[in-house]
Every structure is written in C-alpha cells, then in structure tokens.
C-alpha cells in the first residue's frame, strides 16, 4: 500500500526546473534515467566509512547530470529524518513484515529509509565490539527485499538498479523472484571492498526465501557456505569497483580473496570507476571546521589549522612544535589500512623529527598500541579513538603529511581529501592510492605525494624518512602541495562513467 499518491511522490522528487541547465555538453546523456540504489550506509544518516560518502555524493552528481536517483538504506537508530511515503509488505522466507518507508527529498535524489525496529533499532550498524550481529543475513536480505517491494509497489519505472557491497548483494538475486517489468531491469553491482563478503551458513537459504539451487559454484556457494557478495557479482549484469587499478588487482590471487577466478571469467563485465570526492563537503576555502579558509593561492591558512590540531590533540604548540612536520592519519584501525606495519615499527615513529596525530577506531589491539604510544611520547604522538567528523576535517587541514600505508585500498577517499587540503599524501601504491597519488620525483620536482610498493615496515619507514627530508625543502614542498590541490577529483567525471555503466548494463543480456 502506498501512502502518498503519485502526484505527491512526484512533488517529493522535486525535479530541477531548468532541464537545459542540467544537460551536459554533447548528446551522450540526453535521456534522463531513473536509478534505484540500495546500500547499507549513506552520509549523513549512517556512516562507518567511505561507502557512506560515495552513496551520498554519487546520487547528487547523477542528479546534476539530469538523472533521478532513489537510494534505499535502513532506518537505523537515530535516523529521525524523513516523511512516510509508503507501506510495503516484505516477504522473507516464511515470514512477512510490514514496513513503512520514510523519505527525504532533494532535487533529483530521494533517500528512502526501510524501517524494521527489530533489525535496525540497534546501537551499531553491523555488530557490537568486533562481533557481527548473528542475524545480519536476515537484516540485509530484508533491506534488499524491501527495496524491491518498494520498486514494485510504487510503479516507478527504473532504468537501472545499482546495489553496493555485500549488504545489497541479494538485490539482483531476489530481483529474479519479482514480476516483470521490474525483473528485467538492468543491474549494476559495485564492490567497495572485497574483504567483506557476507559469508554465512548455507542453512540461511530457506530462511531468506532462497532455493537450494543457489547453493552452486555458479551462484552463491563459497567454500561450502553462501556469500551475499558473490550473489551480487554473479547475478548482476555489470560489476564495477571503485578504481581502475583495483579492478585489475582483484583479478589476481593476491587481491582476489578467492574471487579472482570469477572476476577473470567476467572481466569483460568488470569496470573500475574512480570515486570522486564531494567538493562541497571537502573544500578548504569554505570548510566551517577550519579556523581560516585557504586554497592553492593562499596557503597561509594551513598554519592556523595546524595550530588548532596541535592544541586539540595536546601536542606542543611551541615554535618547535609548529615547525616539526605533522603527520595525520584518519582511519579504521584494521590490517587493511597498514596498522600491522605501523605496529611493527614500534617506537621508530617518535624518534623521527615529526609529530603524529591519529584519529580512528577499530581493532582493540591497534587502539591499545596507539594509546600506549601516545602515553609514552606525549610530545610527539597523539591518538583519539572514536569517530569525529570535525576532527577529521581539521586534521586534513592542519597536517603536513597524510599517511595511508594500506595493504590494499579499493579507492580510498582520505588521500584525495588530503590532496585538496594541501596535505601531502604518503601512500602504498595500491588500488585507488596508485591511481590518485603521483610519486615525487626529486630531479624534476614533479609529483603530488610519496608512494612505496613493498608491503613492509622497512619500505614504509624509508619513504617516511624521504618525505620528512623533502619537507625541509620548502620550495619543493610547496610545489607538491599546489600540484595536489590542482588535481580534479570531483564527482562529475565519475558520475558520467556510472551513467555509461547503466547504459551498458541495459544493452547486456
Ligand atoms: P574506508 O571506507 O575503507 O574506511 P575511505 O578512505 O574510503 O576508507 O573512507 C573513509 C571515510 O571515513 C573518510 O571520509 C574518512 O574521513 C572517514 N573516517 C574514517 N575514520 C574516521 C574517524 N575516526 N572519524 C571521522 N571520520 C573517519
Ligand atoms: C571501501 C574501501 C575504500 C573506498 C570506499 C568507498 O570502504 O575500503 O577504499 O574508498 O569503500 O568506495
């Protein structure tokens, strides 16, 4: 049952008035598309990482190109936004749930929240203190099914359905159970991180309303269990991932997490599209969290941001403290992000001529390691465990170097924020980090950051030493900062590539 009538829904959609304004140059995107997106996070409503940033920014970028996007995410605890727009019945295995959908609308984009207090009114998105909620298969099967029931009941004619990560992996699987014309809508599945595969016991199949025929190597079966991620990969027409380099990497055993064979066999349908960053949210020239605005032509404001970060984190604000290069990190504290390498460095970091600020949360052992380092070296190392949007912006603004020694990195957003904020990134050359950071060349002075290849503490430390030496060469450093600030990682180009992906998926069988 739909609560709002068609007219009200159209109003909610709040179409941009001047279509010609939205029409891009050339005739590629003359036809406006309607896209249904399904994901488990979208900023500012629910965020644990970059997925939320992408699911917030990509729909807006598509809307700027003249398209319409409905994004369905769970109505987690604390999401108060939205007006009720519909009630739909969601069958799942033997159970049937009624859900009210709430929506928030802005021009071209509606964020629709699927409500189920039993599943989503909880302290965390995926699980408490390192343990996933045991009913995650049911929670995210519900999300997928609710999105499809909405699509069926609303009468919207979507041109493509775009699902993100394992939490939405059942969307293309369950779509096969829906009636036409919905069943024939082209599907695109985006992998933001292959390390999270949504693997569960096969006994879930009947409870999720799925047949045992899906327990096959050509379907959901993954080492005798089922994988939602595999469902997304196998049953979507087109697969995308979030950088061209990562699209190549996941076809190799080192980065494929056991899926490399599947990717190789579907390499014609696998596309790498680099994430953009939201230039409204991340712009040092008008970032409300920074003490002074700055940009490539007025870099002085960075000094005020550095001072603020030193104060906030209790590091010395003396002349010496301000002179010393400040290395920032904002991250989930997990192996993926290189925290094992950093831990192996032991007490090497505080011996360098630099200060370090870390903002993050994740594995207890890494939280404990950084808190202990900060306690031992209060003049050099500061760590804040937790999630803090304001502090993240200030670190991006105030740090001199930003460190991301990732083991693998599908795209990574923080290095792009750093480039924009004149904070020189030091990264391992993998995935999106490889695609976005150009290594400094001391003979020509070109480059936007520092990169290293070998995943070892030695390579990381050597590169960090090289970066800190280079920092003393103020002219070279400034050139690098400005080169980074001039790179264009806005969403515009990437959104066009997604439109091409939707069009391509529509042409595929
Ligand atoms: P991932 O999604 O793998 O964690 P990304 O670099 O793509 O990595 O995105 C991480 C996003 O989460 C960025 O927007 C980053 O600023 C943010 N973030 C991560 N940890 C924190 C934290 N502790 N506080 C605030 N923001 C954080
Ligand atoms: C994942 C990846 C990260 C990427 C983000 C958004 O969390 O780990 O590299 O930037 O998704 O696509």
Q: What fold is seen in the domain 301-488?
A: Rossmann fold (3.40.50)
Crossing angle of the two packed helices 50-64 and 491-507, in degrees rounded to 10: 80
**How far is 192 from 251, CA to CA, in rounded Å?**
15
User: Can you read off the two tokens belonging to residue 457?
Assistant: 């503490």
**How far is 230 from 228, CA to CA, in rounded Å?**
5
The pLDDT of residue 30 is: 58
The rounded Å distance from CA 21 to ligand 2 centre is 32
Which protein residues touch ligand 2 with a CB less than 6 Å away?
49-51, 54, 192-193, 242, 275, 409-413, 432
Backbone phi, psi, residue 191, to 5°: -100, 115
The pLDDT of residue 509 is: 81
Q: Is 44 in the pocket of ligand 1 (CB under 6 A)?
A: no
Q: Is 50 in the pocket of ligand 1 (CB under 6 A)?
A: yes
pTM of the model: 0.92
Burial class for 32, CB neighbours closer than 10 Å (0-12, 13-18, 19+): middle
Chain-centre distance for alpha carbon 5: 34
Domain segments of the chain as ranges: 6-276+492-507, 301-488
Q: What is the CATH number of domain 6-276+492-507?
A: 3.40.50.2000
User: Can you read off the two tokens belonging to residue 256?
Assistant: 């494929």
User: Can you read off the two tokens belonging to residue 472?
Assistant: 């003393």
**Contact predicate 382/358, CB 8 Å:** yes
Q: What angle do CA 427, 431, 436 make, to 5 degrees?
A: 60
- In this structure, which ligand is nearest to the CA of 246? 2
Whose C-alpha lies nearest to ligand 2, atom 12? 192
The rounded Å distance from CA 449 to ligand 2 centre is 20
The pLDDT of residue 25 is: 41
Rg (CA), the chain: 23
**How far is 359 from 337, CA to CA, in rounded Å?**
13
182: CB partners within 8 A, 6+ apart? 148, 151, 152, 158, 175
Give the 3-state secondary structure of residue 58: helix
Q: Is 154 in the pocket of ligand 1 (CB under 6 A)?
A: no
Whose C-alpha lies nearest to ligand 2, atom 5? 50
β-strand partners of 381? 356
pLDDT in tens, the chain (509 residues): 333 333 333 343 333 323 232 334 434 445 899 999 999 999 999 999 999 999 999 999 999 999 999 999 999 999 988 999 999 999 998 899 999 999 999 999 999 999 999 999 999 999 987 799 999 999 999 999 999 999 999 989 999 999 999 999 999 999 999 999 999 999 999 999 999 999 999 999 999 999 999 999 999 999 999 999 999 999 999 999 999 999 999 999 999 999 999 998 899 999 999 999 999 999 999 999 999 999 999 999 999 999 999 999 999 999 999 999 999 999 999 999 999 999 999 899 999 999 999 999 999 999 999 999 999 999 999 999 999 999 999 999 999 999 999 999 999 999 999 999 999 999 999 999 999 999 999 999 999 999 999 999 999 999 999 999 999 999 999 999 999 999 999 999 999 999 999 999 999 88
The pLDDT of residue 57 is: 96
Q: Relative to the CA of 413, which ligand 2 atom is closest?
A: 10
Q: Relative to the CA of 359, which ligand 1 atom is closest?
A: 23
Q: Relative to the CA of 193, which ligand 1 atom is closest?
A: 3
The rounded Å distance from CA 393 to ligand 2 centre is 18
Whose C-alpha lies nearest to ligand 1, atom 17? 49
Q: Is 416 in the pocket of ligand 1 (CB under 6 A)?
A: no
Crossing angle of the two packed helices 301-312 and 389-398, in degrees rounded to 10: 130
The pLDDT of residue 463 is: 98
Strands (E), 318-467: 326-333, 355-362, 381-385, 401-404, 424-428, 450-452
176 CB neighbour count, 10 Å cutoff: 9
């Amino acid at each position: 049952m739909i609560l709002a009538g068609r007219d009200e829904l159209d109003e909610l959609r709040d179409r941009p008035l001047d279509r010609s304004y939205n029409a891009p140059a050339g005739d590629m995107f003359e036809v406006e598309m309607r896209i249904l997106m399904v994901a488990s996070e979208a900023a500012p409503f629910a965020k644990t990482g970059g997925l939320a940033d992408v699911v917030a920014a990509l729909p807006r970028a598509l809307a700027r190109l003249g398209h319409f996007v409905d994004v369905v995410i769970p109505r987690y605890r604390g999401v108060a936004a939205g007006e009720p727009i519909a009630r739909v019945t969601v069958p799942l295995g033997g159970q049937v749930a009624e859900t009210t959908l709430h929506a928030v609308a802005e021009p071209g984009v509606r964020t629709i929240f699927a409500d189920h207090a039993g599943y989503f009114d909880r302290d965390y998105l995926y699980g408490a203190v390192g343990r996933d909620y045991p009913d995650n298969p049911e929670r995210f099967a519900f999300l997928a099914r609710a999105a499809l029931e909405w699509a069926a009941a609303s009468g919207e004619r979507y041109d493509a359905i775009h699902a993100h990560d394992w939490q939405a992996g059942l969307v293309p699987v369950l779509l096969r159970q829906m009636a036409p014309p919905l069943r024939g809508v082209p599907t695109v599945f985006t992998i933001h991180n292959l390390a999270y595969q949504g693997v569960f016991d096969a006994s879930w199949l009947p409870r999720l309303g799925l047949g045992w025929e899906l327990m096959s190597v050509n379907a959901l079966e993954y080492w005798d269990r089922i994988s939602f991620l595999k469902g997304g990969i196998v049953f979507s027409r087109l697969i995308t991932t979030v950088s061209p380099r990562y699209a190549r990497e996941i076809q190799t055993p080192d980065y494929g997490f056991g899926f490399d064979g599947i990717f190789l066999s579907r390499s014609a349908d696998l596309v790498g599209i680099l994430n953009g960053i939201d230039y409204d949210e991340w712009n040092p020239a008008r970032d409300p969290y920074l003490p002074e605005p700055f940009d490539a032509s007025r870099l002085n404001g960075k000094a005020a941001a550095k001072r603020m970060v030193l104060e906030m984190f209790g590091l010395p604000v003396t002349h010496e403290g301000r002179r010393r290069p400040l290395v920032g990190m904002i991250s989930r504290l997990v192996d993926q992000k290189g925290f094992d390498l950093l831990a192996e460095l032991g007490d090497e970091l505080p011996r360098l001529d630099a200060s370090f600020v870390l903002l993050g949360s994740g594995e207890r052992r890494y939280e404990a390691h950084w808190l202990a380092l900060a306690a031992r070296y209060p003049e050099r190392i500061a760590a804040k465990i937790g999630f803090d949007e304001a502090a993240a912006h200030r670190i991006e603004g105030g740090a001199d170097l930003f460190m991301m020694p990732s083991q693998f990195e599908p795209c990574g957003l923080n290095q792009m924020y750093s480039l924009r904020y004149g904070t020189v990134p030091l990264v391992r050359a993998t995935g999106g980090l490889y695609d976005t950071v150009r290594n400094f060349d001391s003979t020509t002075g070109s480059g936007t950051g520092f990169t290293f290849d070998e995943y070892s503490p030695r390579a990381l430390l050597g590169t960090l030493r090289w970066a800190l030496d280079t920092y003393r060469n103020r002219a070279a450093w400034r050139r690098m900062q400005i080169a980074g600030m001039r790179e264009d990682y806005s969403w515009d180009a990437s959104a066009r590539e997604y439109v091409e992906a939707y069009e391509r998926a529509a042409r595929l069988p």
